[in-house]
Amino acid sequence: MATSLTGKQSRHLRALAHSLKPVVQIGKNALGDGVQEQIEAQILSHELIKVRIGSECPVDARTIATELEATLGTQTAQIIGKTLVLYRRHPQKPKIELPKGR
């Protein structure tokens, strides 16, 4: 499990994510295997992604974020309504340099 993001790191990631569009949509089946595989592939490719939670999803955003942190090792940089901003450093070739400190 990764360490939690500092305030400075979260602000940096939120700024980077501002112009991003959601790459995965979570629907009525919540976090099924297919959705988790999509998130895994996208986060491995981009490191920082937005995930949209559809109105038909029976699970709230915070619960989904917590489950993704536990199962995929992502870090939640932000939750805006029904949109999550997720980060996970690439294991071999990181693209995003996180600031140090608080």
Give the strand pairing for 83-87 and 48-53.
antiparallel
- Would you write out the chain's pLDDT as a tens digit for each of its 102 residues? 456 889 999 999 999 999 999 999 999 988 888 999 999 999 999 999 999 999 999 999 999 999 999 999 999 999 999 999 999 999 899 999 998 866
SS3 92: coil
pTM of the model: 0.91
Name the CATH topology of 8-87: Translation Initiation Factor IF3 (3.30.110)
CA angle 47, 49, 51 (to 5 degrees): 145
SS3 52: strand
Question: Residue 45's closest CA among 96, 102, 97, 99?
Answer: 96
Domain locations in the chain as residue ranges: 8-87
- The whole-number pLDDT of residue 1 equals 43
- The whole-number pLDDT of residue 102 equals 62
